[in-house]
Structure 1
């Protein structure tokens, strides 16, 4: 019994043969030109592959258009600015820092250059500023001693290894350089430098011309200041003192003729910053080289307070100018809590009978002990009035002197007598403070006095 072959199978078996399939065998293969695809059976590309390639191109085109829109439309201006900055460099044109001179036009701080060619280059420029051939000028200072704290020093403009400035100005760091930094600095200008694709540069137009700083003329006399400083220095060295400060004022005009502090630093050394060893010695010096004792140091005023207390005593009517007080060289005060304890306060010498004029002239301590705090039959003005008149004369307040870091100090008042003290000696000091008070003030008023510490 025979099986019937499915018609679908018969159709597959009886399909037509292509001529290539009939006549193609291994003997005639070498005769075909393979570069022309002879002897090869071609299979048509499927519709799926064609549509896949089509949609891939559509997707790539869509992504490209989105990116182009983002670059040109959304961020176009931002990238334009960046490209301009990459091609055009903004180079600062440094303003000349103002010169500082004394009352006689002696230069105390000025601008200097590395060589004569640099100086000439500066003079030849219409903008009166620096060029690439001439770096910004250095700051030079008077070589005479006594001007370190007064003048201060500066920090130079700074740039990185690629030549870009991250600090485009001179910055005053202390003294007058810091206090008057804004007017001394002036205002930098701006120049555009173009860089081509090969990295070559050429100067462009000047966008902004610099405005040079203002010159300062001080009331200080350089000769007087130098002499004052050397006197303080020599006195400190001869008598074993660590430091000192002094000031001299014209009493007619109020101008400072000199104000100096010892020890001091060299302004040029700190400005240049190259002498690391010397700068390190400044930091390690126990005498506090960076402390300007004339305006920042806080000390007891000493005998300069006596004339002010004399005015206070006259105003309060506790004494007349003619009344005399006996100075035997000291006064002794009994401790009210410990009667067996007596504290002796010495005068610097026995002056005998002195009235107010004489007491001021010879600087009698005993006289002012008595009119300040009272002693036996002599009435004193008391601690409250001592504070009152000290403040009336400007003690305990800033003077407004044009030097940085001025300190005002402290004037003890009645509050100082309310401190609880335990030991007998301290109790006595509290009692004594009721009678006279030791004024702890820092006074920067220019005065023709010399203080050694």
Structure 2
């Protein structure tokens, strides 16, 4: 009963439980200057001395106030309400207490100690890249980054200089360089001082930098590319994500590494994978105390290329040797499967080591590459644009045969060796006499192809509009669509009267048509365009979309299936037309300008070319394009050596080594070419 009385006072007269002195000292509603007055008014209004009597009187109607607790007390409306409130509050507090002590006990303990939980993303392993035989072309390996937490960078000028001096002595970088790196980035979460560090150097730096607050050694993923010539242009490299990248692709993290060029760029989404998370308990000093939980990252998909690493190596070595031995400057070579469009080899020279662009190490070497006048970063196989020289002639012949302006039996007398138009003379590189189309292809007869394009004697020429239309059917003048990223390749140029009027403000003349017919003038092609067009002659008229990646392989895939070839045009020419042209290219090997291939046990069909340039008439570009085997074609190879000279002597040996390696034949040594004039 005493307890019930106390509760009753607590609910209805709480001030009755206070001592007189308490009412003044602790009542926040009573000014200190009026304590006595308020105390008197309080006692008068509420009759504090009669509180006990009030309780006895109220209780008397429900039972004995002086005896044991009567069950009638439980019928009091106020008591029942109060009892319900107490029970509900007790239940709520009990449930909350269980949650705090059991479910969240460890977390709350950590928070009580001043710790916090921090969740960080864990990068997904980037997908790997293999050649067609499973040879790895790239691998993932850990590297380390030295980072500075700007919050720990000294604010005092003297201490800051001491700090920078210590960093300078350890990292081997000047104080000025470090200041330029750190000071503008003090508002960032971290500042990377050195990246791409191997394990041994990382351990050494960790010891030497001990005691410098804010220096953290972080393990980061890195990419290591194989020591294979030409991989820089084909596979490319990775680098840090930019603000524009983060805006365009919401799935990326600020710490992501993404493809910057080549296959790494064009297949970055497949290679990326999905990051995981790691939750750590961090103490008040920013140190990791213990792991709390994690989710595993999903590895990126791997890629199988159509590339053959050994053929790539042989092609690159042959191209380099030909360039160096013939005093040339640069060049490119492409080998492609005529059936699928798979790139078997692609080389551009000069080349570069893509490992230099995947970390901040060797920044001086990168600067040298970027400032090199030879432009080694340009992939000349797809972005180099050159006059085609005589390699265009098989396609001009195809157009004339398709349009029936000539037939296989048409003979043109070219014994004069020149055509005079007004005051301009269009000469041949030598006199050929009477010739049909097969002989004209084999011997690279300029006069014959002047006639096919612009007309001569009994032959009505195609004219530039029809010629342009057929060259575009073979893919010239447009990007091939190779999977190396948008904007990576050049379109080349098939000139026309409209183009010349718009760009040069000049009229079109018959001589322009003649020049276009032999691959001179304003006609520009890329090595890849020439390779694809040659493949169309070899495969019966299919225009393929070239591709570097043959298969995209999921991380857990147990089986692989090559992607279907992309055929852009099924039949760009009649088969009988293409057969005549193929015979002409085969004749070039048997008795014409590509006779050096006649000794091979594999039958090859080919076309040489020598293109004059606007820079120097003495330094001509050396071209060569070929396919093999002749009767059942598998591979096409197209080569250009800039400033190399005659096509048969400089570019042809490179293609020969590529074909020899493809068919597992002994390699013919590359030797300097003799300065003998040959066909264009």
TM-score (norm 1): 0.69
Task: Tell me, yes or no, if structure 1 residue 154 matches structure 2 residue 238.
Answer: yes
* Per-residue deviation, residues 61-96 of structure 1 (Å, max 9, x unmatched): xxxxxxxxxxxxxxxxxxxxxx9xx93322221111
Aligned position for 2:273: 186
Corresponding residue to 2:259 among 172, 177, 180: 172
> Taking structure 1 as reference, are residues 372 and 322 closer, same or farther at Cα in structure 2, changes over 3 Å only?
same
Is 2:493 the partner of 1:410?
Answer: yes
Change (3 A) 1:90 1:441: same
Q: What is the aligned counterpart of 1:213 among 300, 309, 326?
A: 300
Counterparts of 1:309 and 1:206, CA distance in 2: 68
Structure 1's 219 and 444: CA in aligned 2 closer, same or farther, altered over 3 A? same
Q: Which of 429, 438, 443 is equivalent to 1:362?
A: 443
Q: Which residue of 2 aligns with 1:312?
A: 399
Match of 1:296 in 2: 383
Q: Using the alignment, how far apart are the partners of 1:224 and 1:420 within structure 2?
A: 41
Equivalent position of 1:98 in the other structure: 127
Which 5+ residue runs of structure 1 have no aligned equivalent? Answer: 1-48, 52-82, 119-131, 159-164, 336-340
Q: Are residue 138 (structure 1) and residue 327 (structure 2) matched?
A: no
Of 340, 346, 352, the match for 2:428 = 346
Match of 2:347 among 226, 237, 260: 260
Q: Secondary structure at the match of 1:234?
A: helix
TM-superposed CA distance for 1:153, in Å, is: 0.8
**Aligned mates of 1:311, 1:451 — CA distance in 2:** 23
Query: SS in structure 2 opposite 1:289?
Result: coil
Instruction: Give the 3 Å change call, closer, same or farther, for CA 218–389 of structure 1 in structure 2.
Output: same
Gaps of 5+ in 2: 1-31, 35-110, 143-197, 203-215, 243-251, 532-635, 643-680
C-alpha displacement of 1:285: 1.1
In the alignment, the residues of structure 1 paired with residue 260 and residue 405 of structure 2 have an alpha-carbon distance, to the nearest angstrom, of 50
Distance 1:204 1:376, change over 3 A: same
Structure with bigger gyration radius: 1
- Deviations, residues 264-285 of structure 1 (Å, cap 9, x unaligned): 1101111123112221211221
Is the contact between residue 184 and residue 213 of structure 1 (CA under 8 Å) also seen in structure 2?
yes
Taking only aligned residues, the RMSD between alpha carbons, in angstroms, comes to 3.2
Match of 1:433 among 499, 505, 512: 512
Q: What's 2:472 paired with?
A: 391
Deviation readout 1:119-162 (Å, 9 max, x if unpaired)? xxxxxxxxxxxxx998233211111212110010111589xxxx
Structure 1 residues 103 and 172: alpha-carbon distance in aligned structure 2, compared to 1, 3 A threshold: same
Would the aligned equivalents of 2:451 and 2:459 in 1 still touch at CA under 8 Å? yes
- The question of 1:449 aligning with 2:638 is answered yes
- Aligned-pair CA distance for 1:375: 2.0
Distance in 1 (alpha carbons) for counterparts of 2:219 and 2:504: 64
Instruction: State the SS of the aligned residue for 2:307.
Output: coil
Native 8 Å contact 1:245 1:450 kept in 2: yes
1:276/1:133 Cα in 2 relative to 1: closer, same or farther (>3 Å)? Answer: closer
Does the 8 Å contact 2:428/2:445 carry over to 1?
A: no
The answer as to whether partners of 2:280 and 2:293 remain within 8 angstroms in 1 is: no
Q: Please, what TM-score do these two structures have when normalized by structure 2? A: 0.47
Q: What is the alpha-carbon distance in structure 1 between the residues aligned to residue 296 and residue 415 of structure 2?
A: 74
Helix, strand or coil for the counterpart of 1:137? Answer: strand
8 Å contact kept, 2:279–2:292: yes
Q: 224, 229, 233: which is aligned to 2:320?
A: 233
Measure, in 2, the Cα distance between the counterparts of 1:352 and 1:271. 59
Residue deviations 1:285-344, cap 9 Å, x none?
Answer: 111111111111222233332222111101221111122234448423233xxxxx3333
Which string of whole-angstrom CA distances, capped at 9 and with x for unpartnered residues, describes residues 364-413 of structure 1?
Answer: 22221211111233221010001111122222222211113122122112
